[in-house]
Amino acid sequence: MASCSPSLLLQLEFPLTRRPTTPSSERSTRPFSVRSIKLPIRKVPGDYGIPFIGPIKDRFDYFYNQGRDEYFKSRIQKYRSTVFRVNMPPGPFIAPNPKVVALLDGKSFPVLFDVTKVEKKDLFTGTFMPSTELTGGYRVLSYLDPSEPKHGHLKRLMFFLLKSRHDKVIPEFRSSYTELFQNLEKELATKGKANFGDANDQAAFNFLARSLYGSNPTDTQLGLDGPKLIQKWVLFQLSPILNLGLPRLIEDFIFHTFRLPPSLVKADYNRLYDFFYQSSGFVLDEAQRLGISRDEACHNLLFATCLNSFGGMKFFFPNVLKWIGRAGVKLHTQLAQEIRSAVRSNGNDITMAAIENMPLMKSTLYEAFRIEPPVPLQYGRAKRDLLVESHENAFEIKEGELLFGFQPLATKDPKIFERPEEFVADRFLGEGEKLLKHVVWSNGPETESPSIGNKQCVGKDFVTLISRLLVVELFLRYDSFDIEVGSSPLGSAVTLTSLKRASF
Ligand code: HEM
């Protein structure tokens, strides 16, 4: 993260005349050593309830009684603060310590990206970590802190993979997603509607395998089984923090209270592993050169491709259709005009340069990332005593405390974004570009880049490119489309009810 003295920031953003608004009972008794802090220092409000009972009660509120958004919003009201103490699921018996300090505004949230202040070891899934038996016995890259030497080696390997296959992305995306739209058209013609999610799962997996490894799953033992195998394996890792829509007592007992035994998914995982091992020889050679065993590298490639990449596409692509679909025909027409004109001016070729000339399309996607970030929960453990600032207060955090951010509230902070709850497709055009630093889906500002020293998503540029390619493909083929939206454990269930063929 770019560093800027917190006191300087405070002076710039908060005039000296500002008076404390904190109730005196909650004002910190310790004046903290930073004299230049102009915000009132407040003790972090909130509590964790009675041991064992409190976390379970909170789990039921989070999943069922209130639901995730209300769980946080009601507490913001209660404590009159966007920073407070709260339990995060799953709690007993999976996570022995569910206590976190929640950061729910766009000002406090970014401390989670500052690896000089927070440690990110074993925090990818939050207050619990899935068994390493699900990843070949290794702690894979997403769970490593940049202070661990292996983090740098593995992240370098991922950069190598993406760089070596860079020129395959556009052609393979086009062929996989042309196939997807052709299939959806057929389904629409016969059934009157078409499920985008299932088709997207297959297209996403085929695309990732073909573009990153030059291997076509249907030509191997894997056939069409990839997405199904991944979903089951992901369930074994993430079920403690997912709402699966089952009857609540059954769901809570089976999925949120105990870990599912990894042995039940081992055979499926091995099929995926064999596919990756056979397809990724060139990356495994590079891994050995970097001092990583072929086995450890392969488990990491599997995780990055199936959980980070496939998981991201499974969640984000339906959301793109949902938000653009709901925005209506006016936006569809503007996007179709912009995209077709940029492609025509580029000799009917889709290249990075052509895509750069599609400002509305780019802004629309940033807005989709802002309004519904695909990975909403982020964690970081305070490396030392520190002060975290919301818009109103500064809070003392003790070394070792777990900080947690619910990203959708940070990226819908009304003090940063106007009309935060609205999907404003052109929000990031012109002057709006200055707001891009507050778009943080990649675990860092959109204006910054992943490096071996930070925890920003390795696939940031790759994801940006393929989401743009999705919208380009969509509006080269169609003038407009209609959808129905339901919910699913990972994002939205989108059904297409019409696709209007390109008429200009
Ligand atoms: C829509 C798609 C994606 C989304 C939303 C996404 C999001 C994220 C987020 C939020 C993190 C940080 C997690 C944390 O520590 O809290 C992350 C890390 C990571 N992502 Fe992505 N990602 C996506 C696609 C990809 C792709 C295509 C790759 C391909 C290689 C990838 C590889 C990784 C890796 C390896 C890390 C760990 C980085 C590190 O340890 O420094 N992701 N991603």
Tens digit of pLDDT for each residue in 430-457?
999 999 999 999 999 999 999 999 999 9
Beta carbons of 45 and 85 less than 8 angstroms apart: yes
Nearest CA to ligand 1 atom 39: 455
Nearest CA to ligand 1 atom 12: 443
What's the 284 CA to ligand 1 centre distance in angstroms? 20
Give, in degrees to the nearest 5, the angle at Cα 182 between 319 and 481. 45
Nearest CA to ligand 1 atom 11: 457
Instruction: Give the binding-site residues of ligand 1, using a 6 Å CB cut-off.
Output: 120, 124, 141-142, 144, 151, 155, 158, 304, 308-309, 312-313, 316, 374-375, 378, 441-443, 455, 457-459, 462-463
What's the 50 CA to ligand 1 centre distance in angstroms? 36
pTM equals 0.93
Calculate mean pLDDT across residues 170-179: 98
- Interval 47-81: pLDDT, tens: 999 999 999 999 999 999 999 999 999 999 999 99
345 token code pair:
């001016």
| φ, ψ of residue 29 in degrees (nearest 5) | -80, -20
Where are the alpha helices (H) located in 142-280, listed in sequence order? 149-164, 169-191, 196-213, 226-238, 248-251, 266-279
- What's the structural domain count of the chain? 1
Residue 292: inside a domain? yes
Ligand 1 pocket test, candidate residues 442, 455, 457, 460, most atoms within 8 A of CB: 457
Residue 7: inside a domain? no
Residue 15: inside a domain? no
How far is Cα 350 from Cα 226, in angstroms, rounded to an integer? 28
Residue 19: inside a domain? no
Boundaries of domain holding 476: 24-501
Calculate mean pLDDT across residues 69-95: 98
Ligand 1 pocket test, candidate residues 138, 308, 370, most atoms within 8 A of CB: 308
What's the 304 CA to ligand 1 centre distance in angstroms? 8
Contacts 24+ apart (CB under 8 A), 15-24: 21/392, 22/392, 22/393
Q: Point out the ligand 1 atom lying closest to the alpha carbon of residue 161.
A: 30
User: What does the pLDDT read at residue 503?
Assistant: 97
How far is Cα 365 from Cα 362, in angstroms, rounded to an integer? 5
The CA–CA distances, whole Å, from 249 to 11, 60, 255, 367, 490 equal 51, 10, 10, 37, 20
How far is Cα 418 from Cα 8, in angstroms, rounded to an integer? 25
What's the 84 CA to ligand 1 centre distance in angstroms? 27
pLDDT band at 488 (very low <50, low <70, confident <90, very high): confident
Residue 1: inside a domain? no
How far is Cα 177 from Cα 200, in angstroms, rounded to an integer? 8
What's the 127 CA to ligand 1 centre distance in angstroms? 18
What's the 239 CA to ligand 1 centre distance in angstroms? 19
Residue 13: inside a domain? no
Q: Point out the ligand 1 atom lying closest to the alpha carbon of residue 154.
A: 35
User: What does the pLDDT read at residue 424?
Assistant: 98
How far is Cα 253 from Cα 273, in angstroms, rounded to an integer? 30
Taking the CB of residue 349, how many other CB atoms lie within 10 A of it? 10
Q: What DSSP letter does each residue of 321-375 carry, written as one string?
A: HHHHHHH-HHHHHHHHHHHHHHHHHTTT---HHHHHT-HHHHHHHHHHHHHS-SS
Sequence-distant (≥ 6) Cβ neighbours of residue 500 within 8 angstroms: 478, 479, 480, 481
Residue 71: inside a domain? yes
What per-residue string of b and e applies to 267-297 under the rule 16 or more CB within 10 Å gives b?
ebbeebbebbbebbeebbebbeeeebeeebb
Taking the CB of residue 156, how many other CB atoms lie within 10 A of it? 16
pLDDT band at 25 (very low <50, low <70, confident <90, very high): very low
- Interval 148-166: pLDDT, tens: 999 999 999 999 999 999 9
Q: Which residue has the tokens 């077709």?
A: 340
Name the strands in the sheet holding 394-397, side by side, starting at the edge strand that comes first in the sequence. Answer: 41-42, 394-397, 386-389
What's the 209 CA to ligand 1 centre distance in angstroms? 17
Residue 119: inside a domain? yes
Residue 217, helix vs strand vs coil = helix
Q: Which of 210, 312, 228, 222 is nearest to 273 (CA)?
A: 222
**The pLDDT of residue 367 is above 90:** yes
The CATH number covering residue 161 comes to 1.10.630.10
